[in-house]
């Protein structure tokens, strides 16, 4: 525990940062942001689970980043060992923003603080599929480069210097799948860049570990099952965009079985030299693979029981005969596949099993917990470290009851709540506050009373709440959308709102109020322009333009016509009957 004097100094330091240091770097002082940051800091000191609802504009990201920096510094002052802060988000965009925008700004601003002596750094952590495996890249370059175009080949060879696959622009999904780090990695590469990256991310100079919510939950599941942790031990965990946490937990705590996993096990056995075992597994699973490839997701799960039983018996036989001879990665893959098949065959009252469609449109077996609240309590909330959950839509009004019920936090004594209210006056400069805007508008309003504008055209009640998109008489003889060649010709009567026409300018549809047509094509007033008269010798040309066609002279307008409804010029050629 941190003593009271250190805690008091931490709150004083937090006020100094928000009220002195950050305003000196052009950041406006926001009372709600400061209050929210103090609440988060108290939750860290008291080892609580803080639920914070803060809408856009409050500045919650800076609030929890600053509170985490001050809290980490206070731990070091009291002699506690260094532990990083984990920030779990739902979107890659927010992760990149924290690493590239928020933290560099804070690091530069806090360099003026005598208590912060080192730069604030963050390590961006992603799943294995986001990184390049050097061994798989070498094998793929030997097998596939000749059949690719120049750009794809150049992108593949560039991966020799790029570790993060997200930094590539033109890499195909096929190549990405072939060169990424596999789920079970037994790479013997002497200088693996991925392993060096993991080692680098674990250095003490990184105060923040940034990841997505899936990776953080996977780390919690590893720790629960006694497996090797994915992330380092943290002094606190901050979950941003926490309103998506229940959905992410349902995805992570569930289990899926796809045809690709079975085929992958067959391929691994062949690569290890056990062709007979691979053929036997493929033969036992052929009926299941055929059904998963051909049947729809509505196929009843119970009808797959016999096919799964044949696969399971073959997996047990292979494990019993070859367990001591298989490569470690192949052995782990077969064990995981066996556990999944056992899960789908074992009757379990607290799980829901069903079939769904995978990414390739094929049948996929799914199993999800009937209630994730108990699983969340055992896996996540039982950790005795501070947890901050924040979002702009976490509460309904000022109540967090729905989120607590969904996540299993109801009745948890560690939970504390905070709702940051948005105040526009606190975020605006002094000359842009609402009162100053009213004072600035008064002289303008006085001038308008002296020189009033002409009255606006009245809009019918049925059109007052709709988008002001132009309605044109449909053209069936001209090319393109209705009215493109001849502007807008509106009927003399009020259009029926149920009948909609296409606007030549916006492509939308909307029953606009009628304006009396001039009887010519392009009823709006035309800009001054030169015309060229020609004789019309065909009687079937655009009969909907209301012209006397036979023998009449027409002119081609080379500039724009102004539509009286949408008040926009249509910059197209217009054919019209010449005046006599």
Instruction: Convert the pLDDT of each residue in 187-228 to its tens digit.
Output: 666 788 888 888 888 888 899 999 999 999 999 999 988 888
Report angle CA 489, 492, 497 to the nearest 5 degrees.
85
Please name the residues in contact with 192: beta carbons below 8 A apart, sequence gap of 6 or more. Answer: 133, 134, 135
C-alpha 47/C-alpha 7 separation (Å) is: 13
For strand 363-369 and strand 255-257, is the pairing parallel, antiparallel, or unpaired? Answer: antiparallel
C-alpha 65/C-alpha 144 separation (Å) is: 46
The pTM is what? 0.66
Q: Using the 8-state DSSP alphabet, how is residue 122 labeled?
A: E
* Residues 260/374, Cβ–Cβ less than 8 Å: no
C-alpha 66/C-alpha 120 separation (Å) is: 11
- What backbone phi and psi angles, to 5 degrees, belong to 468? -80, 70
Confidence category of residue 554, pLDDT binned at 50, 70, 90: very low
Strands (E) across 402-521 are located at 415-420
C-alpha 314/C-alpha 515 separation (Å) is: 79
Confidence category of residue 186, pLDDT binned at 50, 70, 90: low
**Beta-bridge partners for 87:** 210, 238
Query: Which residue in 548, 390, 494, 478 sits closest to 63, CA to CA?
Result: 390
Instruction: Convert the pLDDT of each residue in 80-96 to its tens digit.
Output: 999 999 999 998 889 99
Predicted confidence at residue 141, as pLDDT, reads 82
* Residues 390/60, Cβ–Cβ less than 8 Å: yes
* Cα–Cα distances in angstroms (integers) from residue 134 to residues 138, 167, 227, in the given order: 6, 16, 25
Q: How many residues does the chain have?
A: 580
C-alpha 482/C-alpha 490 separation (Å) is: 12
Give the best-scoring range by mean pLDDT among 163-167, 317-321, 571-575: 317-321
The more confidently predicted of residues 388 and 137 is: 388
- What backbone phi and psi angles, to 5 degrees, belong to 102? -65, -55
Neighbour tally for 545: CB within 10 Å: 23
* Residues 487/526, Cβ–Cβ less than 8 Å: no
C-alpha 16/C-alpha 535 separation (Å) is: 83
Angle (deg, nearest 10), helices 328-345 and 259-271: 150
Instruction: Convert the pLDDT of each residue in 38-96 to its tens digit.
Output: 999 999 999 999 999 988 788 999 999 999 999 999 999 888 999 999 999 998 889 99
Query: Which residue in 512, 524, 523 sits closest to 562, CA to CA?
Result: 524
């Amino acid at each position: 525990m941190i003593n009271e004097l250190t805690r008091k100094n931490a709150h004083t330091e937090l006020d100094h940062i928000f009220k002195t240091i950050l305003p000196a770097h052009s950041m406006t002082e926001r009372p709600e942001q400061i209050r929210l940051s103090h609440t988060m800091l108290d939750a860290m000191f008291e080892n609580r689970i803080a639920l914070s609802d803060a809408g856009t504009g409050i500045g919650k990201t800076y609030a929890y980043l600053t509170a985490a920096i001050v809290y980490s510094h206070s731990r070091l002052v009291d002699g506690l060992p260094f532990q990083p802060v984990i920030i779990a988000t739902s979107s890659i965009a927010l992760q990149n923003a924290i690493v590239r925008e928020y933290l560099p700004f804070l690091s530069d601003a806090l360099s003026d603080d005598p208590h912060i002596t080192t730069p604030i750094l963050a390590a961006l952590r992603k799943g294995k599929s986001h990184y390049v495996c050097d061994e798989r890249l070498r094998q793929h370059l030997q097998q596939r480069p000749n059949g690719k175009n120049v750009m794809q080949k150049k992108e593949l060879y560039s991966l020799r210097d790029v570790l993060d696959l997200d930094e590539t622009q033109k890499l195909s999904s096929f190549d990405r799948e072939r060169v990424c780090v596999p789920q079970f990695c037994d790479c013997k590469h002497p200088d693996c860049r991925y392993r060096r990256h993991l080692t680098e991310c674990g250095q003490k100079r990184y105060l923040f570990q940034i990841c997505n919510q899936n990776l953080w939950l996977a780390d919690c599941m590893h720790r629960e099952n006694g497996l090797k942790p994915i992330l380092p031990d943290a002094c606190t965990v901050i979950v941003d965009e926490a309103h998506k946490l229940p959905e992410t937990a349902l995805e992570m705590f569930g289990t899926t079985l796809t045809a690709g996993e079975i085929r992958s096990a067959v391929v691994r056995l062949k690569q290890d030299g056990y062709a007979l075992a691979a053929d036997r597994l493929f033969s036992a699973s052929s009926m299941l693979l055929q059904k998963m490839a051909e049947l729809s997701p509505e196929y009843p799960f119970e009808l797959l029981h016999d096919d799964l039983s044949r696969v399971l018996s073959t997996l047990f036989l292979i494990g019993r005969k070859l367990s001591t001879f298989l490569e470690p990665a192949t052995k782990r893959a077969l064990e995981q596949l066996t556990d999944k098949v056992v899960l789908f065959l074992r009757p379990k009252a607290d799980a829901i099993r069903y079939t769904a469609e995978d990414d390739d449109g094929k049948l996929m077996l799914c199993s999800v917990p009937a209630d994730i609240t108990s699983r969340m309590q055992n896996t996540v909330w039982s950790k005795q470290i501070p947890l901050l959950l924040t979002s702009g839509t976490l509460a309904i009004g000022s109540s967090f009851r729905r989120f607590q019920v969904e996540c299993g936090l109801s009745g948890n004594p560690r939970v504390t709540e905070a709702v940051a209210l948005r105040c526009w006056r606190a975020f605006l400069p002094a000359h842009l506050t609402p009162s100053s805007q009213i004072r600035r508008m008064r002289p303008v309003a006085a001038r308008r009373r002296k020189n009033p504008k002409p009255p606006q055209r009245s809009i019918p009640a049925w059109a007052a709440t709709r988008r002001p998109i132009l309605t044109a008489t449909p053209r069936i003889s001209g090319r393109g959308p209705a009215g493109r060649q001849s502007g807008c010709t509106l009927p003399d009567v009020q259009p029926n709102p149920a009948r909609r026409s296409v606007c030549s300018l916006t492509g939308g549809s909307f029953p606009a109020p009628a304006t009396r047509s001039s009887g010519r094509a392009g009823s709006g007033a035309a800009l001054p322009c030169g015309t060229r008269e020609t004789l019309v010798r065909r009687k079937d040309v655009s009969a909907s333009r209301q012209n006397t066609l036979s023998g009449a002279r027409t002119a081609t307008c080379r500039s724009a016509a102004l539509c009286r409804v949408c008040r926009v010029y249509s910059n197209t050629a217009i054919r019209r009957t010449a005046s006599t």
